[in-house]
A and B are shown apart, each in its own frame.
Chain A
Amino acid sequence: MASKARLGWLAFLVAVVVVPAVSGGYVGHVAVFISIYVILASSLNIMIGLSGRTCFAHAAFAVIGGYACALLQLRLHIPYWIALAMAGVVTAIAGVMLGIPATRTRGPYLSLVTLGFGEIVRQVSINAMNLTRGPLGIPGLPRPSIAGRRFGQYEMFLLCFLTAVATVVICSRLMHSRFGRSVMAIREDETAAQAFGIDIARTTVIAFAVSAFFAGIAGALSATYLQLISPDLFTFADMFIMVCMVVLGGSGTVFGPVLGAAMLAAAPEMLRFLDEYRMLVFGALLVAGIRWWPSGVISKRLDEKLLRGFYFGAGARD
């Protein structure tokens, strides 16, 4: 059983790494964006799935991460790898700044606060001309290099893919940790959670920060890949797609957002033959998905099963 699961995962990993290398170009481009969306959806799941707070600021976090990574390199001449990590940290700080007021609100009000935050970020990135060059964006961002070799598309894919795997592993560890349990306990019953020592405001702000950190990294990676950062790197439409990825895949599970990201990032590409009807059909498919899998494609039980395979049956979950 364990070895079968191991083989399955191994085959999957090899396929994922080899196919973009062989086919290159267009497939490679889609593979990069699937990886980036896996990071975004998995980290958004910390808010939607674990904390039960529908946060609409994820696209804004990604934009902040993109600008942070670009400006740290261009203005402060910080080396790429450090700028990438710092983009995550800067975005986590933005997450704290949003989290502090947002934790005072619940339900739809919280969603509105996060939506407002997204609009603030957009307006600032459009109007702070001397910092962001406004709607023109900042083109020509350098890609990183290792041993004198500049990253091409495939290297960028590997970087995004490895980051996505790391994100999924960390998110799954968080879910099954003391921290993850405390976030879920708050979701289930705030009054009871407090009685066992959980500080609601502190814990929720940390959840915002962790979620934002990964969104910032994802934004920095996509800015690096496109060699361009502009206010519409991730738009409101992209953010709603991220929410759909989490919900349709299965919120609160490890693999749900991964599958959701893969499906919804690939679907518009696979529907290209429909030309102008493409987004119409895509929307219809979304509605149908929610109709048939109201609680997501990946159930809790299936997720547990997949996780045991992921850890090579090492008993990590028992």
Chain B
Amino acid sequence: MAPALEIRGVCKYFGGLRALNDVSFVVETGELMGIIGPNGAGKTTLFDMISGYTQLTSGQIIFEGADFSNVKPHSIAGLGMTRTFQNIRLFGRLTVLDNVLVGLYCRTSAGVLDAAFRSVRSVREESQAREKAAEYLSLLGLADRSRDEARELSYGDQRRLEIVRALVSEPHMLLLDEPSAGMNTFEALKLREIILHICKGMKKTILLIEHNMQVVMNIADRVVVLNHGARIAEGSPRSIQRDPHVIEAYLGRRYLKHAGD
């Protein structure tokens, strides 16, 4: 079986700045792959290229065996990949339920005329969509907030709503960009269980950018480390923690001698 996602020699130059330089790795189907790296390492740029927001300078991205390089941002959801954003990007003045229903946009098809004349097909589609949205909202414990505006939610709830919105269209693969950012320890641990459940229980492939080592090192199957736009290490969380390149990137050269302790 083809891997879920293949990154082949991807480069992104902004003028003279090499944001990503010849990065390659493979995410297997059903795997929970973490991406870590210091600030400015190019993690979010990589996400933006996978999801079509940023054009590749060179290289290739392959999703489920098909070329995904320079795909349009609005076509990835329909192809089975959704994402969350580093800075929460909810539809603030829409209700929680409507946010999730927008998540189902790519799985529904009613147009303007369907809505204007309440076609039988669109009424059925709408009620099915609402049922499904409610189901996913209760899965992450947001069911009782569904009529509130998204901007009224607490920070942690907003992060979880972003995940519900990305999950409801039943994608094969989820890109999560720092889902625990700004959460307290308790919330982050709860989120860790949710992500693990989505990957292993609901059988989704997950690519996870995360700064919180408590989260990523405990649940990721493998971890890729980026630094200054280059892939400096890849492997199990345990081996990554001992990798001299990683220690140097995070802590500096003088901590190298403690490696392997």
Contacts and interface: CB of A to CB of B under 8 A. Distances in A.
Interface stretch (B82-90, B135-143, B197-205): B82-90
A307 to B, nearest CB: 14
6 nearest interchain CB pairs?
A: A197-B106, A177-B115, A188-B91, A192-B89, A194-B73, A197-B77
Contacts of B73: 191, 194-195
Contact of B74 (A180, A181, A200): A200
Nearest to A182: B105
Nearest to A200: B74
The interface residues of chain A, by DSSP majority, are classed as: helix
What interface size band does chain B fall in? 35 or more
A189 B88 CA distance: 10
Interface of A: 170, 173-174, 177-182, 184-185, 188-189, 191-200, 206, 210
Contacts of A193: 91, 102
B114 to A, nearest CB: 8
Contact of A178 (B51, B75, B105, B118): B105
A196 B103 contact: yes
A194 B118 CA distance: 26
B99 to A, nearest CB: 8
A195 B139 CA distance: 22
A184 B51 contact: no
Most chain B C-beta atoms within 10 Å of own C-beta, residue among A185, A191, A192, A197:
A197
A198 B78 CA distance: 10
B93 interface: yes
B85 A191 contact: yes
A182 B89 CA distance: 15
Most chain B C-beta atoms within 10 Å of own C-beta, residue among A177, A198, A206:
A177
Given A177-B114, A184-B98, 6 more contacts: A173-B118, A189-B91, A191-B89, A195-B83, A196-B77, A210-B112
Contact of A196 (B82, B94, B115, B126): B82
A184 B102 CA distance: 10
A196 B53 contact: no
B161 to A, nearest CB: 12
A199 B90 contact: no
Nearest to B130: A318
Contacts of B74: 194-195, 197-200
Contacts of B76: 195, 197
5 contacts: A178-B111, A179-B111, A181-B101, A193-B91, A196-B105
A181 B94 contact: yes
A245 B111 CA distance: 28
B110 interface: yes
B38 interface: no
B80 to A, nearest CB: 11
